Amino acid sequence: MKISKLNTPLLLGVVMATFSLFVSCKSDKKEDSYAKKTKIEETNSNGIAISDAEMERGSALYFDRCAGCHGSSRKGATGPHLLPVKPEGSDKPGTLEFGADGLKAFIVNGTAAGMPEWKGILTEEEIELMTRFLQVDPPAIPPYEMDEMTASWKLIIPVAKRPTKPQHKRNIDNYFGVIMRDAGKVAIIDGDTKKELAVLKTGFAVHILRTSASGRYIYSVGRDGRITMIDTYTDVPSIVAEVKGGFDARSVEVSKFKGYEDKYLVFGGYSPSHIAIFDAQTLEPLSITPTAGNACDGDKEFIEEARVAAIVASHTDPVWICNIKERGIVAIVDYTDPRNPKITEIPAARFLHDGGWDSTGHYFLVAANASNKIVVIDVPNKKLVTIIETGKMPHPGRGTNIKNKLGNLWVTSHLGENKLSFIKTNPGPGQWTVVKEIKATGNGGGALFVKSHPKSKHLWVDRTLNPDAKLNSSVDVFDTDTLELVANIPAPEGVDGRAVHFEYNKAGNEVWVSYFMGKKSAIVIYNDKTLKVKQIIQGDWVENPTGKFNVYNTTHDIY
């Protein structure tokens, strides 16, 4: 079969975001994954020759590289389904229809709609294995229960042995946690001196960091489902506890409501799909709540793979907001009884991905990227406010808040098109509508993150997944008053790769940008006023940096 024949049906469904494909082979391997438990006699091979050992390797490869977008059970999410036979209601052919040659063409060449080329990332032999693995029925996702979770728990430094106050004079509020994704490490950098204080081994492809309500602890979570807890009070920041909340995850958050500071931590499982709650001082597991259920739109199908995407913690109530991706449900999780959390489900839209607070911390806005919408939730009242159509595949990160003559505006970028949408959040005419749309430099989508700061007059935008190297290696800066483009800033000399994600320092006068997936990784720090480079952080330990989280801004949800 020729690639041109394959393109139409499958490409329609493939969207801009098979990002996990980029995770380098150098990554720290998962020490244990669901792959180990998959055996061919437990699945239907559909006549494809594949041994148990190959099944295990195929599962591991799929899990690490493809599951993020296509789902662990291969039913599709951000990317299309990869099931042998077309499921009912889908317009996309099954993998058996494509056959080994067809699947190989996709894997080798990528797709025009955003799936990158695998050639050079996977070996020939791995690609060949995947063409067979994808034609076999997907293995069931094994359970991951409390006993296994508890067995994985390591309390490295008990609370009683930790210092009661900082053992140094540095300003923890201006520390940055920076993810070195492909090294499986997190660097803690002093934002005042720009010196790395520690580069800690945290696990396979860490995805995000969050800080405790007091700002003392930094927690990481990644594609091996491992949570790592870092104490900033010690002179050299140190890991004090670890636990595995599941096989795969993208989010973690802490309790931030008054009286619950630094008490509980929530983990959002991609695989298995569940919400797990831990003691935030020790990471002792407290409860697991599966998220499977029906979809938001009344579809009768019971969705087993109902992954937990973005999580935020309310400052006004003792709740977390957990977004159940495939079901399109916003779950408000009351943590006052953490062993038996009360969950209010708000049907919204599919598939929920990432989002953040408006400037008041009362409303939460989240992207339903498969339906091109932004969902607005009134958190204290546990109510859906509205669902707003913005553009192709909104991808805000946590979004960002700016203020100008149009009002208080929450901003999202889009993966699927060149558009920045500004949603008015304050009361009055136009509230909860898109009051302005603008374009970034050049053509096409690929934007992943936007960022501003209450003290800044600038809005920063990346184009990480745009195929044009000029665009994906530069960042745009807009004036928040006029919304005019102020600058398109290319990668500085000596730096290359794709620009991704922004973070301000505590004072709101510096912007940190990561450069990854190139030969010269770096964290580039700009003066937010002059837009000139202030410092470039490079070195052996700076390996494909991605997300950066300033302690003060993360603790107080400043974005």
Does residue 420 touch ligand DHE according to CB under 6 A? no
Contact criterion met (CB below 8 Å) for 363 and 377: yes
Using CB under 6 A, pick the residue from 513, 547, 550, 558 that binds ligand DHE. 547
Label residue 62 exposed, middle or buried (CB < 10 Å: 0-12, 13-18, 19+). Answer: buried
Interface residues for ligand DHE in 257-296 (CB under 6 A)?
A: none
3-state SS assignment for residue 487:
strand
Interface residues for ligand DHE in 336-365 (CB under 6 A)?
A: 353-354
Does residue 17 touch ligand DHE according to CB under 6 A? yes
| Whole-angstrom distance, CA of residue 239 vs CA of residue 250 | 20
Q: Encoding tokens for residue 48?
A: 């494809």
| Nearest to ligand DHE of 96, 255 (CB atom) | 255
Q: Encoding tokens for residue 410?
A: 């929450």
Does residue 19 touch ligand DHE according to CB under 6 A? yes
Active site residues: 66, 69-70, 115, 353, 395
Q: Which residues contact 204 (CB under 8 A, 6 or more apart)?
A: 27, 28, 29, 30, 64, 184, 222, 223, 224, 226
Q: Encoding tokens for residue 276?
A: 């797990």
Does residue 498 touch ligand DHE according to CB under 6 A? no
Does residue 497 touch ligand DHE according to CB under 6 A? no
Q: Encoding tokens for residue 85?
A: 């036979």
Give the binding range for ligand DHE (CB under 6 A) out of 20-28, 185-193, 238-246, 399-407.
Answer: 20-28
Using CB under 6 A, pick the residue from 220, 251, 281, 505 that binds ligand DHE. 251
> What would the x/- binding string for ligand DHE be over residues 452 to 481, using CB under 6 A?
------------x-----------------
> What would the x/- binding string for ligand DHE be over residues 73 to 92, using CB under 6 A?
-----x--------------
| Nearest to ligand DHE of 61, 96 (CB atom) | 61
Using CB under 6 A, pick the residue from 16, 38, 59, 68 that binds ligand DHE. 68
Give the binding range for ligand DHE (CB under 6 A) out of 18-26, 191-199, 291-299, 422-430.
Answer: 18-26
Distance in Å from the first CA to the final CA of the chain: 49
Using CB under 6 A, pick the residue from 373, 419, 424, 501 that binds ligand DHE. 501
Residue 315 CB, shortest distance to ligand DHE, in Å, is 16
What secondary structure, in 3-state letters, does 217-247 show?
EEEEEECCCEEEEEECCCCCCEEEEEEECCC
Contact criterion met (CB below 8 Å) for 11 and 112: yes
| Nearest to ligand DHE of 448, 558 (CB atom) | 448
| Whole-angstrom distance, CA of residue 262 vs CA of residue 249 | 21
Residue type, 96: L
Using CB under 6 A, pick the residue from 309, 375, 379, 415 that binds ligand DHE. 309
> What would the x/- binding string for ligand DHE be over residues 164 to 193, using CB under 6 A?
-----------------x------------
Q: Report the residue number whose CB is nearest to ligand DHE.
A: 68
Q: Which residues contact 537 (CB under 8 A, 6 or more apart)?
A: 189, 194, 196, 522, 523, 524, 525
| Nearest to ligand DHE of 102, 271 (CB atom) | 271
| Whole-angstrom distance, CA of residue 523 vs CA of residue 467 | 22
Does residue 61 touch ligand DHE according to CB under 6 A? no
| Nearest to ligand DHE of 213, 311 (CB atom) | 311
Torsions phi, psi for 250 (to 5 deg): -130, -10
Q: Encoding tokens for residue 131?
A: 């063409």
Does residue 546 touch ligand DHE according to CB under 6 A? yes
> What would the x/- binding string for ligand DHE be over residues 385 to 404, using CB under 6 A?
------------xx------
Beta bridge partners of 210: 219
Label residue 332 exposed, middle or buried (CB < 10 Å: 0-12, 13-18, 19+). Answer: buried
Can you give the binding site for ligand DHE, defined by CB under 6 A? 17, 19-20, 22-23, 68-69, 78, 181, 207-208, 250-251, 309-311, 353-354, 397-398, 448, 464, 500-501, 546-547
